[in-house]
Amino acid sequence: MHDTNDEFEPPSKSQKKREMKDLQSLGDQLVKLSNEHLRTLDLPERLLDAVREAKRLTSWGAISRQSQYIGKLMREVDPTPIQALLDRLQGKSDEHSAWLHLLERTRERLLADDKALQELLSKHPQADAQYLRTLIRNARKERDEQKPPKNFRTLFQSLKELMPEPELPGKSKADDTEDDDE
């Protein structure tokens, strides 16, 4: 005779340990978040206090104990929104890198080809064409004479202003201007 209750096996001790380590690791990532991001998570007060305390600690042993405590508190919390926020922040990091690479490629094209400036100006008519021409000419001169790249850097900064970083979906500029309580 086959008992249907035998089909469900509780998680093994090893599986439980892995899950606890995962929660502790997630808690450690919480400690690295800014207070602004922590506020968006709606964490229980005890967990939030524990995370703030961990940010304050400097002793390795105290940090380790606090990390274990945070892991224990994490058992009472749904980890899904926390993981979603961390994934979103990682996406921002990838997006930010892509934006910086775009700026670098644009700067290199501007230095290599005079037609690139006309293309840039057609996409961004508000740009100061004379200022950009001067920066490009001076950056080329610096490169040819092997001088410090002052105008090369200034050109990059000008491109950053001209082509601002795209915003993450679900994030507004108001989020960036909030004060951080650290």
HEC assignment per residue over the chain:
CCCHHHHCCCCCHHHHHHHHHHHHHHHHHHHHCCHHHHHCCCCCHHHHHHHHHHHHCCCHHHHHHHHHHHHHHHCCCCCHHHHHHHHHHHHHHHHHHHHHHHHHHHHHHHHHCHHHHHHHHHHCCCCCHHHHHHHHHHHHHHHHCCCCCHHHHHHHHHHHHHCCCCCCCCCCHHHHHCCCCC
Q: pLDDT tens-digit profile of 135-165?
A: 999 999 999 999 999 999 999 999 999 998 7
Residue 169 confidence (pLDDT)? 47
Instruction: Report how far residue 66's alpha carbon sits from residue 57's, in angstroms, rounded to the nearest whole number.
Output: 9
CATH no. for 13-77:
1.10.60.30
Can you give the residue ranges of every domain in the chain? 13-77, 93-165
Tens digits of residue pLDDT in 88-123: 777 766 777 888 899 999 999 999 999 999 999 999
Q: 37-71, pLDDT tens digit by residue?
A: 888 888 889 999 999 999 999 999 999 999 999 99
Is the domain spanning 93-165 CATH 1.10.60.30? The answer is yes
Residues 139, 127 contacting (CB under 8 angstroms): no
143, 152 Cβ separation under 8 angstroms: yes
Handedness of CA 93, 94, 100, 103 (dihedral sign): negative
Asked if the domains 13-77 and 93-165 are classified in one and the same CATH topology, the answer is yes
pLDDT of residue 60: 93
Neighbours of 23 (CB within 10 A): 20
C-alpha pair distances (Å), 144 with each of 68, 110, 161: 57, 15, 26
